[in-house]
């Protein structure tokens, strides 16, 4: 009898009904709409260039992070060969590579509030053999709590929590997350309305409007025919609008008002709002108005620490809890994403960085070569001892030797 056959009868009993903790997918946005009545959803929000670009940058940068399996040792840690390594860094399942899988997991966590994946295991050893992404658009997920344990129900199946990788976004209960759209709906709605207004303006005003004056009164039907004929001549697509003013009326060019210009200009404010909601610096969204080269490196570090690292830690811990056996956890095995991959500086700065670490006996040259994707050299797998630095014990020993030599010379 499998887990599904065991759980379904239990959950079907009224006296043992589990508590619903939350659901994956889309949350109610309290009727947030644009001025044209378009609902603010994950799909409509992505029509904003700044929001789309921000989501692409964060998910791509997270997907770039190399993931490795390590073991804690008395000397520190060592990277080990493990079957989990292939799943988290190369091929989690038969449908996609690790880059696309990690990108989609984070995409779901941000836009839908939760990223879910099902762990397939070997029937005999229970070792993970694949990690299948759950498409919440096709199969909504419900999170249940029963007898102090979590279960996930989707597609008619009830799965124990140890077989589900779950990466939540912002959360009030620590279990299920809430889509960023849920809280940013009003703000994004303003940006979408600004976008719609700009489109409406260019479709109804501006260069496509003209006024013709005549010295005498014209018949209304004649005005209409004259305007349509002139408009058709100027633009075969019918986008031009021609007004006929008779009896010597004056021409007045229809220009955008200061208020309208300010509203359209508020689209730039929308970029700043997106940056705040997604916790990323403006320069990442192609706004370099207040950025100079002297602070770019600091902004990059800040971005990695504030925007990428929290997602990496959250996912790494989930992988450790769900993919390792209890025996492996006791052995000190853990998973770590290498955020340093996003902090590679220019060649000169990079060379100075590794040189200082090697001279301070913090890093072996072989470790620096590994980070630079260079071949392993056995002779470089050793800590260097700078000749111009030494411990106090070394200094005292050399001082004693020097004193002994001086004493010997004096006796001679």
Q: pLDDT per residue over 55-101, tens digit each? A: 999 999 999 999 999 998 876 778 888 999 999 999 999 999 999 99
* Average predicted confidence (pLDDT) for the chain: 76
Q: pLDDT per residue over 210-239, tens digit each? A: 666 667 777 777 767 666 665 555 555 555
Residue 335 is predicted with a pLDDT of: 94
Strand 128-133 relative to strand 114-121, pairing: antiparallel
Crossing angle for the helix pair 49-64 and 98-111, nearest 10 degrees?
A: 140
Q: Which residues contact 372 (CB under 8 A, 6 or more apart)?
A: 350, 354
The answer to whether the beta carbons of residues 69 and 82 sit under 8 Å apart is yes
Q: Which residues contact 219 (CB under 8 A, 6 or more apart)?
A: none
| Burial (Cβ within 10 Å: 0-12, 13-18, ≥19) of residue 93 | middle
Q: Which residues contact 61 (CB under 8 A, 6 or more apart)?
A: 304, 307, 308, 342
Of 4-18, 67-81, 379-393, give the lowest mean pLDDT range.
Answer: 4-18
Q: Which residues contact 58 (CB under 8 A, 6 or more apart)?
A: 106, 110, 278, 280, 307, 308, 311
- Judge whether residue 303 has pLDDT over 70: yes
The answer to whether the beta carbons of residues 79 and 69 sit under 8 Å apart is yes
Q: Is the pTM of this model over 0.75?
A: no
Distances (CA, A) of 182 to 67, 174, 269, 377: 31, 17, 20, 52
Say how far residue 241 (Cα) sits from the centre of its chain. Answer: 45
The answer to whether the beta carbons of residues 137 and 112 sit under 8 Å apart is no
User: Structural domain boundaries of the chain?
Assistant: 1-25+43-182+259-343, 349-412
Q: What is the DSSP letter of 218?
A: -
């Amino acid at each position: 009898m499998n887990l599904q056959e065991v759980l379904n009868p239990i959950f079907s009993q009224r006296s043992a009904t589990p508590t619903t903790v939350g659901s994956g997918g889309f949350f109610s946005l309290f009727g947030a709409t644009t001025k044209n009545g378009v609902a603010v959803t994950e799909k409509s929000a992505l029509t904003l260039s700044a929001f789309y670009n921000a989501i692409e940058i964060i998910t791509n940068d997270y997907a770039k992070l190399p993931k490795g399996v390590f073991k804690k040792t008395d000397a520190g840690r060592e990277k080990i060969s493990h079957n989990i390594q292939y799943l988290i860094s190369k091929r989690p399942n038969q449908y996609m590579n690790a880059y696309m899988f990690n990108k989609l997991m984070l995409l779901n966590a941000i836009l839908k509030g939760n990223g879910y994946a099902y762990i397939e295991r070997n029937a005999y050893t229970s070792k993970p053999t694949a990690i299948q992404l759950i498409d919440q658009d096709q199969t909504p997920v419900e999170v249940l709590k029963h007898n102090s344990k979590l279960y996930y129900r989707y597609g008619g199946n009830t799965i124990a929590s140890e077989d589900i990788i779950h990466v939540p976004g912002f959360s009030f209960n620590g279990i299920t997350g809430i889509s960023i759209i849920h809280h940013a709906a009003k703000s994004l709605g303003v940006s979408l309305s600004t976008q719609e207004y700009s489109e409406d303006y260019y479709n109804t005003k501006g260069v496509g409007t003209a006024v013709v004056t005549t010295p005498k009164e014209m018949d209304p039907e004649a005005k209409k025919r004259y305007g349509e004929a002139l408009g058709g001549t100027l633009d075969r697509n019918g986008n031009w609008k021609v007004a006929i003013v008779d009896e010597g009326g004056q021409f007045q060019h229809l220009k955008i008002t200061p208020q309208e210009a300010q509203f359209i200009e508020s689209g730039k404010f929308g970029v700043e709002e997106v940056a705040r909601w997604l916790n990323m610096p403006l320069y990442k969204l192609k706004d370099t108005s207040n950025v100079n080269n002297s602070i770019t490196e600091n902004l990059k570090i800040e971005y990695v620490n504030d925007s990428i690292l929290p997602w990496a830690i959250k996912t790494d811990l989930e992988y450790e809890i769900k993919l390792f056996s209890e025996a492996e956890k006791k052995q000190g095995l853990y998973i770590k994403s290498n955020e340093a991959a996003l902090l590679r500086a220019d060649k000169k700065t990079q060379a100075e960085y590794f040189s200082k670490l090697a001279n301070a006996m913090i890093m072996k040259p072989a470790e620096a070569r590994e980070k630079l994707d260079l071949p392993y050299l056995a002779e470089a797998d050793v800590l260097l001892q700078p000749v111009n630095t030494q411990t106090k014990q070394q200094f005292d020993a050399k001082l004693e030797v020097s004193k002994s030599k001086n004493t010997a010379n004096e006796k001679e």
